[in-house]
Structure 1
Amino acid sequence: MTSAIAKVPTAHGSKYLQQLCKHWQHNLAVTFTPEHGTVTFPKDARGATWTDDALVTFDADANALAVRIDASGADHLEAMKGVVARHLDRFAFREAPLPFDWHPVV
């Protein structure tokens, strides 16, 4: 697994977390509360052929939305970063584009 985390500054982290999770729960395995959510993207989502599922975890507080992605490899991780950023910016259109300062998880 290859992982990265970003802390996205926003006062609306809980709102965005819930919107994203509700959006994805129609097609993906999702669990969430106002402060924490997880979304599992299957390895064959949208015709991709990754070796493992990707797990995206969200944690919201009053000042930020923390996003962690666990993916099967570097290419998968980069693809998932784009998926998350595009979707989050769509829901956060009033303050988009949001800054994602990705860091590897060691």
Structure 2
Amino acid sequence: MLTDQGLFETPNASKYLQQLCKHFAHKVAVEHDGNRGTIALGMGPATLRATENTLTAEVTAPDAADLAEARDIIDRHLIRFAFREEFEAMDWQSNAA
């Protein structure tokens, strides 16, 4: 499995984490509280964490194409939720060698 981590510096990290989790809970299994969430995306889990000023996402998938799709899913939804901050994409870092 491959893993990428994304970072979004925002004072609304907990709000966006909860919005993402509540949105996906209508479609897939989700566990969350105000500071941590796990979304069972089709290609693998997405784990979200919120601090006072940072939202992080860790996405896991079996191959590079699915990993790119998982990143895109998170980014597309955050674009809708964080439009007031002119969000475009998380700062993604790959753990792949």
State how far apart, in whole Å, the 2-side matches of 1:31 and 1:54 are.
14
1:10-46 Cα deviation digits (max 9, x unpaired): 000000000110000011000000000000012xxxx
* Residue segments in structure 1 that go unaligned for 5+ positions in a row: 43-52
2:27 partner SS: coil
Contact 1:9 1:99 in 2 (8 A): no
Q: Are 1:71 and 2:56 matched, yes or no?
A: no
Give the partner amino acid of 1:74. Answer: A
RMSD: 1.2
- CA distance in 1: counterparts of 2:66 and 2:79, whole angstroms: 20
Higher strand share: 2
AA paired with 2:36? H
In the alignment, does 2:78 pair up with 1:95?
A: no
What TM-score do you get using the length of structure 2 for normalisation? 0.92
Q: Residue 99 of structure 1: CA displacement? A: 4.3
Partner of 1:45: none
Larger Rg: 1
- Runs of 4+ aligned residues of structure 1 deviating over 3 Å after TM superposition are none
SS in 2 for 1:34: coil
> How many residue pairs align between the two structures?
96
- Give the letter for the 2:38 counterpart: T
Q: Contact 1:34–1:60 at 8 Å: present in 2 too?
A: yes
Identity %: 36
